[in-house]
Structures are given as C-alpha cells and as structure tokens.
Amino acid sequence: MQKMRMLMAGILGLSLTTGSAMAADALSAAQQDAVKEVVKSYLKENPEVVIEAIQAWQDKQAAQEAEQQKKAIGMLMESLAEDTKTPYLGNEKAKTLVVEFSDYNCPYCKRAYAGIRDLLAEDGDIKIVMMEFPVLGPMSEFASKAALAAHMQGKYDAFHSGMMDTKTRLDKPGVLGVAKNIGLDMDKLAKDMESSAVADELQGNAMMARMLGISGTPAFVIGDQLIPGAVGKDKLKAMVDASRKK
C-alpha cells in the first residue's frame, strides 16, 4: 500500500511538470487513457495523496525560500558592516548591528520606535541601520526623501525622532515643519531630496527588501534572523542578546 501511494504521488508530481508531456508522448492514446483512469480512480479513493503531494511541494518551496532569505541576510549584513552612507541610530562604532526597514506613516513603526529609543539609551553597543522603505504611498516617499536629505546635513537622528513623534498622518507641511524645527537648511533639503543619491538609496532599499521577502513595515534584521512586524524593547533586547551569543 505504501509503495502504491508513493507511485501515485510520483505520477501526480510528474503530471504537474513539463516532463509530463514527454511521458505522454511515449504512450499510445489508449494507454494514456488507461493511466488517466487508474490515477483518477485512485485519487478519488485516496484524496490524501493529493494533499501529501501538495504539502511536499510547499515544504520544498519553503526550504528554498528560507535558503534564499538566509543568503540575502548575509549579503545585507556584510554590505552594511563598513557602510558609512546609510543613516543609523545609536553608536556608529557598535559591534552589534540591527537593521530596520521603516515607513514614517506606519503606526507600527512609531510604536516600535519607543522601544528602540529606550533600548539605545540602555545599551551603548548597538547600531541600528535605518533602511528607508516607503510602502504606504507618495507621502511616505516624500518623508523618506526628506529623511535621507536630512542625513546629508548630519541631522537624521533628530529628523527621525521628530517624525516618529508625530502622531497624525503626514503631509508635506508636516514633514517640512519637522525639518525646519530641527534647523535644516531648507533650500539644500529640497535640492538633496531630488538628488540621484537619494533615489539610488531608496531603490537599493526596495531591491533588498524584495530579496528578503519583506513587503511591509517595520521589519528587523538582527544577526541572521528576520523579524517582521512591530516588536517591543524586551523582544528586541532578547534578539540582540541571542545574536551576541552566536
């Protein structure tokens, strides 16, 4: 019985691939009809075989995606190890590297920021690299461009804090108001927001997010782990501690 189940699962798997057409060519029309009837009859009596075949395919896909994600995380962390251009929070020289993909209009990002701020105040050996990832529309993109332009004036931390402390949904006056309040050169800000450097940064962040399978914010990379969604200070601290032990 077990052998028969394996055979039928194999036939089903074969039928799901382009190789099934080659197998069919080797049989006469009558033989093909006979095989189809056997398979059809067996699957009616044993529908769990279909479920097993689908589950096996899903497991294989999940394993491949996990391996791809692991490689992408390695590439990301290696590229950021000596990076000096991407904005960050915390200690630039810290040994512990955390990456966050964030959107200024994301309420979960704002919620996570409170824990991030507390953790950085308690632990001086953390550098959080900020990957601007505006996924919530044109105003999110405008805000991210302003953040990267603020970084060019050495005031990313202050701008980021002001934006995260803004509880209402952002609009252009609100974004520019934060920029003005922290003393940015507004003419330079406007020019830098439209620069190729800012466009390239956002494009690169989006490409890395796709490689990691990230579609929403926030998302954190700590050590070799990807943590999607908002997390509090305690969970962040636990993940940081775990990465340090590795």
User: In this predicted model, what pLDDT tens digit does every residue of 60-87 receive, in sequence order?
Assistant: 766 666 667 677 777 777 777 677 789 9
pTM higher than the cut 0.75: no
User: Residue 99: what residue type?
Assistant: V
pLDDT at 201: 94
DSSP 68-87: HHHHHHHHHHHHHHT--SS-
pLDDT at 9: 53
From 234, 224, 222, 238, select the one nearest 99 (Cα to Cα): 222
**Superfamily for 83-245?**
Glutaredoxin (3.40.30.10)
Q: Is 19 left (phi over 0), alpha (psi -120 to 50) or beta?
A: alpha
Q: Facing residues of 225 across strands?
A: 222
Q: How far is CA 129 from CA 28, 49, 210, in A?
A: 63, 47, 18
* Average per-residue pLDDT for the chain: 85
pLDDT tier at 103, thresholds 50, 70, 90: very high
Domain ranges of the chain: 2-66, 83-245
Both tokens of residue 44? 């009616």
Q: Are 77 and 97 in contact (CB under 8 A)?
A: yes
Question: For every residue of 166-226, which 3-state class applies, written as one string?
Answer: CCCCCCHHHHHHHHHHCCCCHHHHHHHHCCHHHHHHHHHHHHHHHHHCCCCCCEEEECCEE
pLDDT tier at 165, thresholds 50, 70, 90: very high
User: In this predicted model, what pLDDT tens digit does every residue of 108-122 receive, in sequence order?
Assistant: 999 999 999 999 999
Helices (H) and strands (E) in the chain, counts: 11, 5
pLDDT tier at 19, thresholds 50, 70, 90: very low
Question: How does strand 126-132 pair with strand 96-102?
Answer: parallel
- Mean predicted confidence (pLDDT) in 224-235: 89
